[in-house]
Amino acid sequence: MTIADFPQFAAALAILLSVVIRSLRNDSSWTAVEEGRVTAQTLRDLTGIMEFDQLQEAFGAPRLDDGVFPVTRRKILQQRTTLGYLFGDRWLDGGSAVIAIITLLPIWPIWGTRFWLDTLLMFASAYQVAGWVATMQFQRRR
């Protein structure tokens, strides 16, 4: 690896770390859906709908005894907003990870695809950064 390759290497590692952290967080929310313990916080995480009134419009009222929304995975996916995709999406995060892994492999000099990999790496980085910025804004609004 030369000095010129270091920025791509660092970006690829940062993307992989981001994908792992976001996947863990997102998986815990989907586990709550499967177990039937979906709170407003979980719905905000998965859909990107921030206002409680809008959550009630989309999913109905929560149960009075425990505040759990009786929703299904399908219903959540139907109500997902752009912000929800920024918080984390299995396919978008997986695509970012694939791009990062391909960038780390020493095959791009052989195929002459450095320009394309760098472009894809920039898009994957932008998606990850946008997701973290959205998450930080979400944490402030709590």
- Ordered by start, the domain boundaries in the chain are 3-141
Per-residue pLDDT of the chain (142 residues; tens, 9 = 90+): 555 578 888 999 999 999 999 999 889 999 999 998 999 989 998 998 988 999 999 998 898 888 899 999 999 999 999 888 888 889 999 999 999 998 888 765 666 667 788 889 999 999 999 999 988 877 766 5
Contact 74, 42 (CB under 8 A): no
Alpha-carbon span 132 to 52, nearest angstrom? 22
Helix (H, G, I), strand (E, B) or coil at 113: coil
Alpha-carbon span 68 to 81, nearest angstrom? 21
pTM more than 0.85: no
